[in-house]
Amino acid sequence: MNFELTDDQDMFVSAAKKLSQSRLTPILQRHPPDRALPKEAMPEIYGALGDFGVTAARLPTEHGGAALSMIDYGLVIEQLPPVIALSLISHDGSITRLHAGASAELRAAYLPDLIAGRKIACTANSEPEAGSDSNAIRTRLEVEGPDAYITSRKLWIKNASVCDVMIVSCAVGLDDGNRPITSRVLVDRSHANVDISEIPLTGLKQGHLSEVVFDRTRVPSANIIGSPGDAGKYMTLAWNGNRPLLG
């Protein structure tokens, strides 16, 4: 088995390293290392990532993505400052989940800006009593005609305080075994009332990890993604890629 990088991979690694050194690291150096980056710094970071073409690393090229293999994506992640790499993984994973099952209208409304880096995405799944187990969440999504209401407390959410778009996993009811029937809904922060507070970090302090509280937060029912019961499947779809990247 040959573990040597191909010529194309060598070029890709060199380009990612140059991106990190010339555009990303200088942004971090302009801000205190012991405080979360201000939201105003994020468009510059994501603009650079968008120019490089890795904001939607896993999407097919015909849908605006880079269609990278996980090995190639991992090679890029290794070159980025860790704070930015972790943020990108959350953003890209959220784009992957939005692309999987969202209506054509939602894709058209949000994917172009997310892929270009003009907007930032996150996924709100983990909860205090459930951890990241989508099949144990207690978040309620109540659908009332054209509107839906989210009631929840989410915890350890990457990018939440700087994002424009959230993919939120919710329970829409219980199955015969009294387990949550999970669904996903898109929350546009410019149109929704969400309470977000930063969690103090012991390392990578320029990053963003937050508690998110939804108190009957109203969203359009049209923002529900996919079918009832599919949230766990599509959360796992992205996690299966995220976990090796972090390892």
| Structure tokens that stand for 220 in this block | 């359009």
Strands (E), the chain: 121-124, 140-144, 147-158, 165-174, 180-188, 195-198, 209-220, 224-225
What pLDDT, on the 0 to 100 scale, is given for residue 144? 96
The CA dihedral of 190, 234, 60, 82, to the nearest 10 degrees, is: 70
The H or E element containing residue 96 is: helix 82-99
Segments of the chain with pLDDT less than 50: none
Concatenating the DSSP letter of every residue in 180-238 gives EEEEEEEEETTTS--EEEEPP-SS-TTS-EEEEEEEEEEEEGGGEES-TT-HHHHHHHH
What are the backbone dihedrals phi and psi of residue 196, each rounded to the nearest 5 degrees, phi first? -125, 130
Angstrom distance (rounded) from CA 114 to CA 48? 13
| Structure tokens that stand for 46 in this block | 């994501």
Angstrom distance (rounded) from CA 208 to CA 83? 9
Query: What does the DSSP 8-state code read for residue 127?
Result: B
What pLDDT, on the 0 to 100 scale, is given for residue 230? 82
pTM of the model: 0.94
Range 121-226 classified under CATH 1.10.357.10: no
Domain positions in the chain are: 7-116, 121-226
Beta-sheet pairing, 121-124 with 165-174:
parallel
What pLDDT, on the 0 to 100 scale, is given for residue 247? 59
Q: Are 206 and 161 in contact (CB under 8 A)?
A: no
Superfamily grouping for domain 7-116: Acyl-CoA dehydrogenase/oxidase, N-terminal domain (1.10.540.10)
